[in-house]
Amino acid sequence: MYHALYRKYRPRDFESVVGQDIIVKTLKNSIINNNFSHAYMFFGPRGTGKTTISKIFAKSINCLNNIEGCACGKCDMCNFSFSDECVDIIEIDAASNNGVDEIRELKNNINLVPAKLKYKVYIIDEVHMLSIGAFNALLKTLEEPPEHAIFILATTDQQKVPDTIVSRCQCFSFNRISNNDIVKRLDFVCKKEKLNVDKNVIEKIAILSDGGLRDALGMLDKLSSYTDDKITIDILNDLNGIISDDDIYKLISNIMNGQINEFLSKINEYNNCGKNIIQIIIQIINFLRDYIVNYYLYNTDLDFSVDLLQKFVNLLNEKLYDIKRSSIPKIYIEMVILEFINDNIFSLNSNSNYYNENTHSTNNNDDSNDSDISKKNDNEITVLNDSNLNNYNSDNNIDATDDGKLEEISLNNFSKNNIINLNEVIEARINNTFASASKMFLNKEKENFELLKDFSFDQEVGAVVNLLLDSNLRACGKNNFIISYDSPAVVEQNISNIININNIYNKITNSNKNIAIITDSKWNELKKEYISNISSGNKYEYVNEPELLFEEVQKNDIISSSAIDLFGSDIVEVE
């Protein structure tokens, strides 16, 4: 009968155990000195040797002639313990025997002396699966078992085992087996089985097994069943639903360059071909880890920003647990990466979306105006285009007093209702922000916002400055940027004072930007629309911002107006 490779090459003595040298040495010494404990807990990742070492230890402590802590394999006790008829080494699967009744039965049988061996050893695998009632039933027995009884508890999740159980055991932490140790073991197995395997295949198996030797042997077993010819990296990729390093790099390149169409198409293609999407994400993490480490250690060239790469790999690593638990991993992965692209879209797509004055229609805020701005007197620097100031009183501009303080603009004659086309102006500013948005502009505006803090306590402009500092800076273009607030009421209030806010900002930061003020919910809508347009290849074209149209409102004396409203003009005489 055929045996799987991980069963066929399971170690039968301490000398054959791979990658757990410290644990093996400690257990061997405890046998040599005859001072082993009554209860042990082995915890660590799957496939690292917990159950295997438990069995070897159970046989070694019963050997009559152990050799440096190892079972001799020749005495009567060894012959019995290595046979299938051995009833004194009891393996219990806690995953399927996790109730109180099973543990009570164990307690009833534990007082029975061993059939032949010196010690009766209970190996409880996946012990964290026991119920709370079962743990409580085991507690007293575990603390004071009979002299002939020894417990070995094995688990992949120590955190789920009650502290009262852990404190009664001698605990050993099993580490993931190193890639080098796995490669050596696989080479040994390949020679024994006469398998023709490429060296890079074995190295890739070691990486994919994530420190689990059982998983590595399982992969090798699957490959050996697939073909009698030479096992290549392409066969490994096909059988395990993964992709090549070249394809990984192309996928990363699509993401880093904001090529959403290409990225979504590739993910969809891999999913339709039966590729393991979760494993591809793990491949990306491992690839980027090596890519970034080589940059720091050997100063290799990078095709992308190292900060952006680190941010991306950290994001994937944080989300990997949720991705694995998701009912539809493909969609979850797409949303995570699309959000990453969106949050960094202005730097990723700055080349394709950057405002070009030669190809787009412009307003008065283009490069030709930048040189004029530097020549202007401070009184002339406003948020509005010169053409938009026809109906705007020049006295409303920011002035600098002799002591250098900023005077707040008076907007007593204007309100939101007085600007007839304010919505159209805001829409134009949003469009123009997206038309030239880049990370560079965003970082520059963040620096400008730092300048505002110096004026937060200023008597004249402090109130407006604090309103700006309380906002969320969302996107920045060449001449425009977008800020948002959570509360629609705050947006309503600030947008009615937008001319004053805009002029104070430009005066403090010595810039000439147009501000668009929106709600957070509106920003979320715009963000989704932006991603949709970029993924569809639709670019934002720069548009001329409409001139502000004001409705003249003549202020009346409040007392007279109220009287006229109440009594009519034919009764009230106003002098």
- CATH level 3 topology of 179-240: Helicase, Ruva Protein; domain 3 (1.10.8)
Asked whether the predicted pLDDT for residue 575 surpasses 90, the reply is no
CB 23 within 8 Å of CB 174: yes
Question: From CA 205, how far away is CA 483, in angstroms rounded?
Answer: 50
Q: What average pLDDT score do residues 35-55 get?
A: 90
Q: Where in the chain is the domain with CATH 1.20.272?
A: 245-343
**Residue 517 confidence (pLDDT) above 70:** yes
SS3 254: helix
Long-range Cβ pairs for the range 329-334 (8 Å, 24+): 329/277, 329/278, 330/267, 330/271, 330/277, 333/267, 333/277, 333/281, 334/264, 334/267
Q: In 3-state terms, what secondary structure has residue 518?
A: strand
What kind and span of H or E run contains 207?
Answer: helix 199-208
Can you tell me whether residue 329 is helix, strand or coil?
helix
Task: Return the closest-CA partner of residue 472 out of 464, 462, 481.
Answer: 481
Span 459-473, pLDDT tens digits: 888 888 888 998 999
Q: What is the pLDDT of residue 5?
A: 87
155 touches 161 (CB < 8 A): yes
What value does the mean pLDDT of the chain take? Answer: 79
Q: How far apart are CA 47 and CA 57, in angstroms?
A: 17
At 152, is the pLDDT very low, low, confident or very high (cuts 50, 70, 90)? Answer: very high
Q: 106 pLDDT exceeds 90?
A: no
Secondary structure (DSSP) of 344-371: THHHHTHHHH---TTTS---TTSHHHHH
pLDDT at 268: 92
Give the closest residue to 535 by CA, choosing from 352, 378, 330: 352
CA-to-CA distance for 365 and 46, rounded, in angstroms? 63
Dump pLDDT digits (tens) for 246-263.
999 999 998 888 888 888
- What is residue 316's predicted lDDT score, i.e. its pLDDT? 93
Instruction: Look at residues 194, 205, 206, 275 and name the one whose alpha carbon lies nearest to residue 230.
Output: 194
Contact of 224 with 195, CB cutoff 8 Å: yes
Is the pLDDT confidence value at 214 over 50? yes
Query: Positive or negative, the Cα torsion across 272, 276, 282, 287?
Result: negative
Q: Assign 418 a pLDDT band (cuts: 50, 70, 90).
A: low
Count other C-beta atoms under 10 Å from residue 416's C-beta. 14
Res. 413: pLDDT tops 90 = no
Across residues 506-512, what is the average pLDDT?
A: 88
- CATH class, domain 245-343, is mainly alpha
Distance of CA 287 to the CA centre of its chain: 16
DSSP assignment letter at 3: -
Of 278, 279, 287, nearest to 256 by C-alpha is 287
Instruction: Classify burial at 60, counting beta carbons within 10 Å of its beta carbon; exposed 0-12, middle 13-18, buried 19 or more.
Output: buried
* Cβ–Cβ < 8 Å for 466, 501: no
Q: What CA dihedral angle connects 258, 260, 264 and 266, to 10 degrees? A: -50
pLDDT, one tens digit per residue, over 353-386 is 333 333 333 333 444 333 332 333 333 222 333 3
Percentage of the chain lying above the pLDDT 70 cut: 83
Summary count for the chain: helices (H), strands (E): 26, 8
* Average pLDDT for 467-483: 91
Give the separation between CA 264 and CA 251, rounded to whole angstroms.
10
Count Cα neighbours of 453 within 13 Å in the Cβ-side half-sphere: 5
Mean pLDDT of 162-177: 90
Q: Which residue has the higher pLDDT, 563 or 552?
A: 552
Range 92-100 average pLDDT: 82
d(CA 448, CA 453): 9
Quick one: pLDDT at residue 574?
45
- Decide: 266 and 312 in contact? Cβ < 8 Å: no
pTM of the model: 0.57
Cα separation, 521 vs 518, whole angstroms: 8
Confidence at 315, pLDDT banded by 50, 70, 90: very high
What residues does CATH 3.40.50.300 cover in the chain? 5-173
Task: Please give the DSSP secondary-structure letter assigned to residue 404.
Answer: S
Cβ(482)–Cβ(427) below 8 Å: no
pLDDT at residue 31 is higher than 80: yes
Phi, psi at 109, each rounded to 5°? -90, -15
Residue 484 belongs to what H/E stretch? strand 480-485
Instruction: Indicate the range of 23-37, 184-198, 353-367, 404-418 predicted with least confidence.
Output: 353-367
What type of residue sits at position 287? F
What residues contact 406, with CB distance under 8 A and at least 6 apart? 398, 400, 455, 458, 460, 461, 504, 507, 508
Evaluate the CA torsion angle 314, 318, 321, 323 in order and state its sign. negative
Query: For residue 389, is pLDDT > 60?
Result: no
Amino acid at 266: K
- Which CATH code is given to the segment(s) 5-173? 3.40.50.300
Which strands make up the sheet holding 39-43, listed edge to edge? Answer: 89-93, 120-125, 149-155, 39-43, 170-173
Q: In the structure encoding, which two tokens stand for residue 49, read together? A: 């040797």
| Residue ranges, CATH 1.10.8.60, the chain | 179-240
Sheet of strand 480-485: strand arrangement: 472-476, 480-485, 514-519
Cβ pair 125, 52 in contact under 8 A: no
